[in-house]
Structure 1
Amino acid sequence: MPGQLETDGALVAPVVPGSSVGIIANPMSGRDIRRLVARASVFPNAEKTNMALRLIAAAGALGVQRVYMSTDGMGVAGGVLRAAGKPRARDGRWPELVFCELDRATGDAEDTRRLVRQMRERGASVVVLLGGDGTVRAASTECAELPLLPLSTGTNNAFPEMWEATVAGSAAALLATGRVTREEATYRAKALHVRCGAATEIALVDVCIATVAHVGARALWEVGTLRELYCAFAEPHAIGLSSIAGLVAPSGRTDPDGVRVRLAGEAAAPRRVLAPVAPGVLAQVGLLEVAPLRAGESVTSAVPRGTVAVDGERELEFGPGRTVTVTLRADGPTVLDVRAALAHAAERGLLVSGMPSQPITTYQEVR
């Protein structure tokens, strides 16, 4: 395993041969219909370019040999290419930059899946995703055992987290160079498997059954139509439908079980929760029942007709004769835990030169 940094006038991490990080920036994330029906922010592609540049700089500083960068037709990769041609002294060492191109871009989730597959086959140790919940869901179907690091550039972003790209890039580099191990710095996410007749879908955050008859524009914003909610995890600080469960029965990302909630819609309810179901929208939601969703348990929906939304977007329509079942399993993607990676780096002094032979237990004067 590579050790601490070397000192030669500056902190320098030696290049680890064969180490590589992938970066996939979804140019469409943060641009959907919720900007019309809620006060969701627009995430500009110029900032995605800047995030990618900060990720690349961190990877280079920590000795990653190669970075694979996605391509797109909306300027994100173009901005990275222009910056690569005009290096600045303060940027330090840059890794070898390889752009992954698609024969034919579709502009949808299939692009993400093909890029993940390409980076996995090229040997990337971790792929950083710049996108929202839908981007991560698409990537999870192709990543196999390849760890993902989702960074929030979408709308609800219940699964991706908000990390400064320099910090996230440092965590990714620590894993890619072997300075921290997968056992120390990753966890296996849960997944909700949906079966609707012969059709199947997967969700990483929540599945919601609504009485709306058509998929339409996909986004959910009318809480009166919601009837059943199934959450792989439910955090009280989340945005989106999972916040409903998170405020009454929190469940962590690494807890074995999830949460299921039966919603009242427009009917009377014994209790109500005021939840941030969308950016700028705090809605009162009536609760009829809240219960654990056990790992391996399959629950059949009692709603006779409507639509199924996965991670906040309607995907499936159903009616009589098409039974909907939801099953929680511990077979989601492997996810890089930024906090854990950097905590192990701090504990072992991986980013510090001249570490003492004994751990520091009290504040000491630096001479």
Structure 2
Amino acid sequence: MSGRDVRRLAARASNMTHEAKRDIVARIAAGAVAMGVTDIFVAAEPFRIASMALEHMGLDVGVHVLDLAVSNTATDTEQAVAAFLERGCTTFASLGGDGTNRAIVRALHGAGRCEDVHLLPVSTGTNNVFPVLVEPTVAGMVAGLQAAGRLDDAGLAHRCKVLHVRDPRTGRADLGLIDAVLLREDFVGNLLPFDAGKIDKLMLTRAEPDAVGMSPIGGMLKVVAAQDDAALLVEMGAGSLPPFSAPLSPGSFQRVQVRSVAQVALDVPVLFSGSGVLALDGDRELALEGGAEVTARRDGPWLPDIAAAMRWAVAQGIIARSHTNPTRS
């Protein structure tokens, strides 16, 4: 569903076609192979995006298409991650937005493998705070270098922050990557963009004024970057802060009223009290009756700095030696 959900119709987001995604997959693969990767693993899916992208490239590497059960839900992504891990893959390139990458990280957490995995998230989704806008060829090159272990000494990757959610009433646990949002008078499964008037409270791992979605609500008042060891708690409602317009969807602004913002240290739980719907990275999945605890931790997979990694590799003379020590991606 990445790049084709109803939120694109309700806002002004561009539509990501299957052909465009195939082109991105092909460019990532070309970059990885140029750096010496010998095995590429992809999952079969109904639209054959990855498999069709690779089958006509004439790559002189092993292309492994895993035929997995398909449910057309986020479970498909989680099952694919598990299958890749079983085959020894520790470098992942993803296509999607915040929601797609949330499913990947949820699977990695469930397997206890976040510390082992480097993730290169290429932006193709609706809300794109977590993934990066990058030339796919270059992302593939860095994925290839990472899979070969040539970036291990660079120190240019950081583990991403994760919002851990626990409902003390039911014991249910879940996670988000960018935002946890408490909505009043909403419902589970609603796919439309958020109504600013229904937002009660949100917690952000990244509060960035140059983003779209929930992140700029906090980011236009206090910036919290991916590298900062903190989250930002934003409480909505009338107060001393003046209302302002924020882009809650691509090309779509809403008036927001923020009562307070405060940085929250990592590993400190915050109570989201009362009833409502808790949305994680835009997905309304958790109905609350007695509230939930939200805790930000830096325990996600490693995210390489793509531009810095390329510059470091050139400075170390690694690019010229990229066709030795074959590995898997």
Distance in structure 2 (CA, Å) of the matches to 1:181 and 1:52: 25
Match of 2:203 in 1: 230
Q: Once the two structures are superposed, what CA deviation does each residue of 1:82-108 show, in whole Å capped at 9, x if it has no partner?
A: 423xx3xxxxx6422111220x21111
Q: Secondary structure at the match of 1:35?
A: helix
Counterpart of 1:97 in structure 2 is 63
Question: 2: distance between equivalents of 1:283 and 1:257?
Answer: 26
- Report the CA distance between 1:309 and its aligned residue: 0.6
The answer to whether the 8 A contact 1:241-1:277 is kept is yes
Deviation at 1:121, TM superposition (A): 1.7
Answering whether residue 6 of structure 2 is matched by residue 29 of structure 1, we say no
Structure 2 residue 117 is matched with structure 1 residue 146: yes
Q: Residues 75-90 of structure 1 correspond to what in structure 2 (within 5 A)?
A: 75-84=48-57, 87=58
Instruction: Kindly report which structure 2 residues correspond to 1:127-276, keeping only aligned pairs within 5 A, or say none.
Output: 127-143=92-108, 144=113, 145-181=116-152, 184-196=155-167, 197-198=169-170, 199-264=172-237, 267=238, 270-276=241-247
Pair 157,276 (structure 1): closer, same or farther in 2 beyond 3 Å: same
User: 2:32 & 2:195 partners in 1: Cα distance?
Assistant: 43
Secondary structure of the residue aligned to 1:297 is: coil
What residue is the counterpart of 1:62 in the other structure? 35
Mapped contact 2:234–2:258 kept (Cα < 8 A): yes
Partners of 2:31 and 2:141 within 8 A in 1: yes
Describe the shift of the 1:117–1:182 C-alpha distance in structure 2 as closer, same or farther (beyond 3 A): farther
CA deviation vs aligned residue, 1:248-294 (integer Å, no higher than 9, x gap):
11111121101111112xx5663223221111112221110010011
Structure 2 alignment gaps of length 5 or more: 322-329
Choose which of 315, 318, 328 in structure 2 pairs with 1:350. 318
Q: Bigger relative contact order, structure 1 or 2, given CA contacts below 8 A and separation 6+?
A: 2
Q: Is the 1:59–1:95 contact (alpha carbons within 8 Å) kept by the matching residues of 2?
A: no
May I ask how many residue pairs the two structures share in their alignment?
A: 313
| Structure 1: segments with no counterpart, 5+ residues | 1-27, 88-92, 354-367
Secondary structure at the counterpart of residue 141 of structure 1: helix
| Residues 309-318 or 340-349, more deviating | 340-349
Secondary structure of 2:243 counterpart: strand
Match 1:287 to one of 233, 258, 277: 258
Q: How far is the alpha carbon of 1:78 from its aligned partner?
A: 4.4
Tell me which stretches of 4 or more aligned residues in structure 1 moved more than 3 Å: none
Question: What's 2:293 paired with?
Answer: 325
Highest CA radius of gyration, 1 or 2? 1
Q: Percent identity?
A: 34
TM-score by length of 1: 0.81
Residues 329, 219 of structure 1: alpha-carbon distance in 2 compared, 3 angstrom cutoff: farther
TM-score by length of 2: 0.90
Q: Distance in 1 between matches of 2:181 and 2:312?
A: 37
Q: Are the counterparts in 1 of residues 241 and 260 from structure 2 also a CA contact under 8 Å?
A: no
Distance 1:174 1:141, change over 3 A: same
